[in-house]
Structure formats: C-alpha cells, structure tokens
Amino acid sequence: MLHDIGIVKIDAPDIDCHGKLPYICHGVEGAKILRREGLPEHALVAERHIGVGITATEIIKNKLPLPEVDYIPASLEEQIITYADCFYSKDPADPWKEKTIPEICISLGKYRAEDISTFKAWQKKFR
C-alpha cells in the first residue's frame, strides 16, 4: 500500500480522494512524501509503479503533468510491486476485483505496445 501513498494529493472523488492533482501524479507525489520521511528506496517504487513505467518521451508526447524523466521500474522490488499493481485498479464498485491477464493487456495496450511485452516478460519471471 505504501507505493500508493501519493493518492492523498490527487483529485479522484470516486475513490474518496480530494486533492488537487490529476491521478497520474500520485506516484511522483508519493515519492516526495517518502523522501521527506527518509525512505528513498520506497520513493523509487512509488514514482516508478505507474502502468509498467513511463518514459520521458511519453510524458512529453502526451503532455503529462509530470517532470520529464523516465519512471521505469529498475530494481527487482520495483518490478514486483509494479507487476502486482497491474492486477488491481481503483474501482470504487469493486476495489478487490483482480483483473485478468487479457484485461491488463488491453489496458496497457492503450498506451504503448511495448508495455504489453514488458508485462508478459514479468509474468514469466514472477509466476
């Protein structure tokens, strides 16, 4: 749960979050909180766990409200948490529903085809 600490800063009333920032910012905001608390390794997990990672190129191309740097899970711990996080979404109607592999691939495919490849490589590695 610590990787999602930044949701306290986002505006998503449907999941009872009443901050000011868009949802995509929760990783970077969580990293700020964790660094202030003296948890730099945990901060890396928070800022790198969105999807299967976000590149600076994607941030620029999609005009995302994030600093223009790569947020790609690097350590084994970052990859495991990011992989596991793909199975759950913040669905207020059913917060404990586990997504299927096809659902995850459809969701990831909306952004970059390479994201599906990354997820499938992790699937082999972690299952």
pTM, rounded to two decimals: 0.90
- Average pLDDT value over all residues in the chain: 93
17 DSSP 8-state letter: E
Q: How far apart are CA 67 and CA 46, in angstroms?
A: 14
pLDDT at 109 over 80: yes
pLDDT tens digits along 40-62:
999 999 999 999 999 999 999 99
DSSP secondary structure, 85-114, as one string? HTT----TT-TTPPPPHHHHHHHHHTT-HH
**Domain range summary for the chain, segments of one domain joined by +:** 2-126
pLDDT at 89 over 90: no
Q: What percent of the chain has pLDDT over 70?
A: 100
